[in-house]
A and B are shown apart, each in its own frame.
Chain A
Amino acid sequence: MKSFFERLRKDKVGLIGFLGIFIVILIGLLSPFIAPYSPEQMFTEHTMEGPSRQFIFGTDEFGRDIFSRIVYGTQVSLKVGIIAVGIGAGCGLIFGLISGYFQGKVDQVIMRIMDVFFAFPDILLALAIVAVLGPSLTNTMIAIGIVFTPVFTRTVRAAVIAVKENEYITSAVAIGVNPINIILKHITPNILAPFIVQITLALSGAILTEAALSFLGLGIQPPNPSWGVMLDASRTYMEFAPWTILFPAGAIVFTIFCFNLFGDSLRDILDPKMK
């Protein structure tokens, strides 16, 4: 762990990403203290005002403070990102381990099902699932989790197959370690590097997908503050009140950018060949 931070410090780009994520998480955790107003409080005499000293990011058509809404939207985005990726990564890890370790028919069945999911564009699949389950925060997370499962399954399966060929696995079998312990104690820890990298990349994808779903009106339902919902609501006023769309979009861009920077440098840091 110590060497992890040492190497991160040398990687300036990764460090920027890491600090950015840290700030975003902090904003999410401390949003009631950071936001000057409630995200739903309407200042009826201040609708559609540009950035001012009172409302630093301006107000929307109902006179709600955009800065406060973005701050609270961070909570939603992070929650959706973490839980959805948790679902996808968890299922992917289980399927990938089974698929890669046992191979044969089980592998064929699992991977062909994943191929079917892969055949759809992410957004289309998430849309279809939300359309079936009904739009809500929970269903958005489930849908995004399902969308991300195949990517994780493939990543994990490929890593398992590569690790399984190592002699230390054979020699663990040769000293009488049972299959469950082989999988949990020897294979799983050895595939964590690509798995963790995939998680950081998927986090940004999940936040983006949530924003897109909300933008299309099938994700988080207004008046809940979500970056996607804010984009959707403000698109009509884009021309004469650009601040209503600029700042939520900026929040999305910043978060995704930080996650991607960090994910990229994490891949280098965790690659044993780069040590």
Chain B
Amino acid sequence: MSSLLEIKNLSIDLHADRERFNVINNINLTIEKRQKYGIVGESGSGKSLTSLSIMNLLPDALTISSGDIIFNGETDLTNLSKKDFLNIRGNEISMIFQEPMTALDPLYPIEHQIMEVLKFHGSYNKKQMKQLAVEMLEKVGIPRPHQLMKEYPHQLSGGMRQRIMIAIALICNPKLLIADEPTTALDVTIQAQILDLMNELTDTYDTSILMITHDLGVIAETCERVAVMYSGEIVEEADVATLFKNPTHPYTVGLLESVKTLGDKSNKLYSIPGNVPTPKQLTGGCRFASRCPHAMEICRNQAPPLFSIEADHRSKCWLYGEEEVVNG
């Protein structure tokens, strides 16, 4: 059985000031059917760009310079025509965005926005669409769905809107749901509810999730497999349990340490010194070398490949330089 989504050697370049800067460098990842996959990284690590490239929603200044994105074992999304993409978006692959406050068109009532997806994917009459929309709103846990259908986005809270975004994303029963920081803009109690809802619904619909977040807690709660991104590269990839128990890349270690745990008496938060290098600052070596506590001579001169630590656990660091993954 083939995987649902395979990203192979994906690189994305930024065109600015008549120059090209590499922003995503040679990413490989595979999402199996029904799998919940997480990408974690700080701002500017390229995690959102990766998700946008799957949907072909990259801003004009960014282009895929090499690599393939194979969907469902057969379709290469990187050279799909615009027309064919209309059929994929919202139907086969859906997306939830970070800001529920702005992700709904302020001028239309909720029913219009849910029914719009159905209008473009499938042949339903108005009554059927309305029926499906109400059922979907019930499934995402919205009370009095009939009344809510007539309301406008500004009348609803952030949590409600995110539920509606989930309803819109799942109503066509997509194979893959991309969630780009779906809970970042919500407060903590709502966050947990939304994550539970996403977990529950994707289980019933057999949908895979690609969860993009900077929050390791979200990863721990929802995902099975995780990739850690830093400066446009995947630096470590493992099962969630393995990653939390045995982080290998110095960046992952730093990331885990900067999470404040309950009962921690010290007042100071750990932070990784320095910032993510901008695309213009990149040199030949490991991209994390300037901030790494274990940086060696080789790190500054030569970029490490992904080394295999154990089965299904890979790390892009010279500290583990014994068994190189050929497909890295």
Contacts and interface: CB of A to CB of B under 8 A. Distances in A.
Interface of A: 103-104, 166-168, 170-178, 186, 189-190, 272
B116 interface: yes
16 contacts: A167-B99, A168-B102, A171-B165, A174-B90, A175-B120, A176-B85, A176-B90, A176-B117, A176-B120, A176-B121, A177-B86, A177-B120, A178-B86, A178-B120, A186-B105, A190-B106
A173 B89 contact: yes
B202 to A, nearest CB: 17
A190 B102 CA distance: 13
B86 A171 contact: no
B105 A190 contact: yes
A104 B90 CA distance: 27
A177 B55 CA distance: 13
A186 B108 CA distance: 9
A37 B95 CA distance: 69
A258 to B, nearest CB: 29
B49 interface: no
A170 B165 CA distance: 13
A176 B86 contact: yes
Contacts of A178: 86, 120
A171 B94 CA distance: 9
B104 interface: yes
B169 to A, nearest CB: 8
Nearest to B165: A171
A178 B165 CA distance: 19
A103 to B, nearest CB: 7
A168 B116 contact: no
B55 to A, nearest CB: 6
Nearest to A175: B90
Contact of A175 (B60, B106, B107, B117): B117
Contacts of B87: 176
Contacts of A171: 95, 97, 103-104, 165, 168
Nearest to B171: A175
A174 B95 contact: yes
Contacts of B116: 172, 175, 177
B88 interface: yes
A-B complex: 6 closest residue pairs judged by Cβ atoms? A175-B90, A176-B90, A176-B89, A174-B95, A167-B102, A168-B105
A175 B87 CA distance: 9
A168 B94 contact: no
B121 A172 contact: no
B121 A104 contact: no
B91 interface: yes
Given A103-B60, A167-B99, A171-B165, A190 B107 contact: yes
Contacts of B188: none
Nearest to A104: B60
B172 to A, nearest CB: 8
A272 B153 CA distance: 14
B57 interface: yes
A171 B168 CA distance: 10
Contact of A174 (B94, B107, B121): B94
Nearest to B107: A189
Contacts of A189: 107
Given A168-B106, A171-B103, A176 B88 contact: yes
A174 B95 CA distance: 6
A90 to B, nearest CB: 21
Contacts of A177: 86, 90, 116, 120
B41 to A, nearest CB: 21
A172 B60 contact: no
A72 B57 CA distance: 56
Contacts of B169: 175
Contacts of A174: 55, 57, 89-90, 94-95, 97
Given A166-B102, A167-B102, A176 B91 contact: yes
A168 B99 CA distance: 9
Contacts of B102: 166-168
A46 B121 CA distance: 76
Interface in B109-146: 116-117, 120-121
Contact of A170 (B86, B88, B97): B97
Contacts of A103: 60
B145 to A, nearest CB: 19
Contacts of B55: 174
A78 B154 CA distance: 38
Nearest to B95: A174
Contacts of B99: 167
Interface string B21-57: 0000000000000000000000000000000000101
Nearest to B56: A173
A167 B88 contact: no
B89 to A, nearest CB: 4
Nearest to A173: B57
Nearest to B92: A176
A170 B55 CA distance: 11
